[in-house]
Amino acid sequence: MCAEIPAMGPDLAIARAAAARWRKRAAEREQTRKTLDHQPAGHFTPVDSVDRLAKRAGRLQQWAAAIRALPPAAILGLPAAPPPTGGAADTREIDMVAPALSLRALAAERIIGETSDLLSVEFLEIGVAAARAVGLITTRGAPNGTGFLVAPDVVLTNNHVLPDVRTARASALEMDFETNRHGPRKEVQSFELDPDGFFLTDAPLDFTLVRVRPTSDGGQALSDYGFLPLIAAEGKIAVGEPLNIIQHPGGRVKQAALRNNRLLDLPPSNEADALNPDAVFHYETDTEKGSSGSPVFNDQWEVVALHHTGVPKTDASGAMIDADGRVVPDSQPERIVWIGNEGIRISRLYQYVFTFTFADPAMASVRDALIALWTDAGRPGWARTAAEAETIVHPPAALADPPPAAPAIIPLAEERGAAIAPDPADPAYARRPGFRSDFLGLPTPLPRLVDDSRGPLATFGEGVSELRYHHYSVLMNARRRLAYVAAVNIDHRAPFDVQRGTDRWFFDPRLPKRLQAGGDYYAANPLDRGHLVRRDDAAWGYTQAEAQLANDDTFHWTNCSPQHEVFNQSAKASGKGLLLWGNLENAVVDLAKATNGRLCVYNGPLFTEDDRPYRQDFFVPGAFWKLIALIDGQSRPRALAFRLSQAAQIADLPAEAFAPAELAAFTPVQIPVATLGALTGLDFGALAQWDPLAAGSDGVSKETLSPPRSIILTREADIVF
């Protein structure tokens, strides 16, 4: 058991560097502090950039929808809508995107302000669970700092706490060093560190990741404490919001500093410094020596920073001073006055980890498993929707135990033996992050089905309709056994992708097979098993493992739709002189590469009463649609909708007989997003406002908008952006 001993001293070199960064931003921080100090009670005054506020609002919106802690109407301060006939509350995601920056800022202000003030008791419940993953780092039996589990058997702390493998070998992670309201203090569990299993450190970013042995000296399992994932996405915090910190101050029992602490500054990335200022932020919170390595949380208990130093008070020359203004020598650190804190931003730490090149393949494989784990655990609300609630998350045992057996795969006969398989670490499909509606920095939610005359949504579990996969999500039409929509996030900046191999399709075990059109409908005919979400679009990643999981997930029957072979295959289409789906999206992809490399693509069939019956109980769609959302080269949000028919080709016209006379039937048409909504029964929300074909848009002249307000596309140059 750890005894309370005198606390270790601060790292003065790190503190001086933080003080220098603090002084550089004094004017900006003071203005922020004045603004925040004068804001009305219960009101959030925006002091951050519009873009960061929009990212923050989007993530809060996702989080609230995920845990159902707040009705979306309440978040925006809107009148509550009456519940539907069944009496259930309306939990549909609110679309708060507005084309004007002032409206975006207003919506973000309302979401952040109201969410900050309306905390349920769940805030405390999740906080207790988060605290379980925080422990005390000891070196040769003496307290050395705080650390927290970021995987089932990996702990994160500061580099100045564990600077090298030798120190780590002599160190341990002590858990349950805390008071017990039910009686005597808990028995401390000491877990040896295992840097030979995994070790990664960086002095400028002041962090160390190290493996922890799975069992304590008292026989306790480390996995019982859960873990706190590192989340790459921005939008976890905005300047002025409260912060929370769990720590072992001075090597004492675990303590919490809750909410009476504010993020004061997020320095920009254009200031020269040995440690890029963009990697840190400054905040108020109650910390002491020994708090190094503590997790800094937002109100949703997502880790936003790694605490690494207090900021000492200094004079004009940069010398540290005491409360009377006298210079403090290094030998008397107890006289230092601490005026703020500096933390390392988790999003920047994450970037370093996934780009680091290991010489040891074994270390690299552990890092890849970490990234895959954090990717799965990174979507808002993931912790609260896990199967069990007593720990903050319940991960796959990717780093400690062999993965569970994969679910049964139902391949076509000629595909047996292919390497493609669904994620073996997630057989229940519980940890797939799905389509991210904050991917572009502005909300791009899944559409809502507002007219179910074409068929009801397929649901599973307790009425869940969204089927989440790696990088994409699907909403299924239960009557037609095909997707209403398959929506994917595409990141062309990602360094890893997967080349296509042998196709192997499989059913999604969350839905009955009778609700999924399987391989029998594609045999002995010119119909291709056409991906709705293109394999190339989803098969990206910041690790090879992430890209492979996403690639394999595209081969679910839920992402498949019958498409004529000429319609579906870009090479054949090009040979006929056609601009078809593959060519069309490639043209928009090129545009995205010229901007920020990211786009969101929504795909689906058009269900009509005229669809051709095939094999008794199945109807083949005669047309398909696509909606592409992106930020263009002028930083404008854009949403482009398209329709393409295959009706002539599925009326028994052989592929080899396809001739120029049939070009018209294959010609894609760019249509208004509002028109697409009417054709599909889907509500695309504010994406309609991003449409260059919308009346009053600056993307196209009003003359072009005359009825029928659609554009026939015979070449890429015809596309209106």
The amino acid occupying position 71 is P
Handedness of CA 544, 545, 546, 548 (dihedral sign): positive
**93 CB burial (10 A radius; 0-12, 13-18, 19+):** middle
Q: Which residue has the tokens 């929707």?
A: 385
* Of 189, 159, 150, 184, the residue nearest 172 (C-alpha): 189
Q: What is the chain's Cα-based Rg? A: 28
Active-site pick, 160, 282, 471, 531: 531
Tokens representing residue 280 in the block: 């840190």
* Of 56, 61, 87, the residue nearest 74 (C-alpha): 61
Q: What's the N-to-C CA distance of the chain in angstroms? A: 66
Strands (E), 632-706: 637-645, 669-671, 682-683
Q: Which residue has the tokens 């912060």?
A: 243
Tokens representing residue 407 in the block: 């679910």
Return all residues near 278 (Cβ < 8 A) that are at least 6 apart.
267, 268, 269, 345, 348
- Cα-flanking dihedrals φ and ψ of residue 584, to 5°? -60, -50
CA–CA distance, 244 with 280 (Å, rounded to integer)? 16
> Which residue stretches of 197-356 are H helix?
346-355
Beta partners for residue 173, in sequence order: 137, 191
HEC sequence for 62-119: HHHHHHCCCCHHHHCCCCCCCCCCCCCCCCCCCCCCCCCHHHHHHHHHHHHHHHHHCC
Residue 260, marked binder:
no
CA atoms within 13 A on the CB side of 552: 19
Q: Which residue has the tokens 């004068």?
A: 38
Q: Which residue has the tokens 């506020």?
A: 53
- Is 38 one of the catalytic residues? no
Please name the helix (run of DSSP H) or strand (run of DSSP E) that holds residue 45, with its range, or none.
Answer: none
Beta partners for residue 207, in sequence order: 202
Beta partners for residue 643, in sequence order: 625, 669
Return all residues near 125 (Cβ < 8 A) that are at least 6 apart.
389
Strands (E), 465-581: 467-468, 472-477, 482-491, 496-497, 527-531, 540-541, 560-564
Q: Enumerate the known binding-site residues for Mg(2+).
A: 568
Active site residues: 531
